[in-house]
Amino acid sequence: MGQSGLQEIPIDQCDVQDKNGLRRHRELRKKWLAWLQADPNHPIWSQMFKMVTNDLAVRTLAAAAENDPQSPLHNPLLVRTILEGHQDAQILGIRRLWDNGGRVISLRRLLNDIKASLDVFTREIYISDSGRPYNPPPAAVIASMAGPGFVSPSSPILSPLLTEKAQQRFDRLSKIPAERRARTDRVPKSLIDHLETHIAVSGAEAKGWRDLDATFAGAWG
């Protein structure tokens, strides 16, 4: 959580009571963002993007073959090379992303790390890590003090509206209704459990890619 890419507000200027929690949150966020984007070898986002684009390319070739019975794409050598190469790349990609080793950078390790650190995902850190006040004056009060003319994105008039939108997002994450909001509200472990369950039932771990060839049977059967 936080404002990736924006200037970081000093911790002592953030409207967060748990300063140590905010400090730890920022340290963890920096590590997780490095795993997702900055690792020089296997950043998670790049791996996922490559798998999706490679799959799209193979499906595009399959559609082209299906619409042209005379296409050279029906050559058995080409078919085998495309399918086997794609299958091997996807299997290796899934194995890397779901590797549970303690020294690898993987999606599973990221989820495990986040699950073990959910205590830093509090409402006040989510709202005010960026320097935004946790309880700004009502929007109507600030608007009444403003003069006529253009309101810039940095205007304090927008602060109550942005804070309320962030509060509503955290309501959905925490599953806590607006009338029961508290600074110490946390993201529940069940959210990560739901993501892990979704991956488990998707077949990525158990089913593998045994039926990959069948996916393209209509074009290359």
**Please, what is the Cα angle at 160 between 158 and 162, to 5 degrees?**
65
Residue extents of the structural domains in the chain: 16-119
Residue-level pLDDT at 11: 96
How many C-beta atoms surround the C-beta of residue 127 within 10 A? 26
**Please, what is the Cα angle at 42 between 41 and 44, to 5 degrees?**
150
CA 204 to chain centre: 18
- Rounded to the nearest 10°, the torsion over CA 154, 157, 160, 164 is -70
Axis crossing angle, helix 44-66 with helix 76-97, rounded to the nearest 10:
160
- The DSSP line for 109-170 is HHHHHHHTTGGG-BHHHHHHTTS--SSPPPHHHHHHH--SS---TT-GGGHHHHHHHHHHHH
Token reading at 22: 């905010």
Residue-level pLDDT at 12: 95
Could you list the mean pLDDT of each consecutive 10-residue stretch along the chain, which spans 221 residues? 65 96 97 92 91 93 90 89 88 88 88 94 95 78 53 66 90 94 95 87 59 51 52
Residue-level pLDDT at 218: 54
Under a CB-based contact definition with an 8 Å cutoff, are residues 133 and 156 in contact?
A: no
Residue-level pLDDT at 146: 53
Count CA atoms within 13 Å of residue 37 on its CB side.
7
Bridge partners, 122 (sequence order) = 186
Distances (CA, A) of 96 to 20, 44, 82, 192: 34, 9, 21, 19
68 φ/ψ angles, rounded to the nearest 5 degrees = -140, 95
Residue-level pLDDT at 4: 46
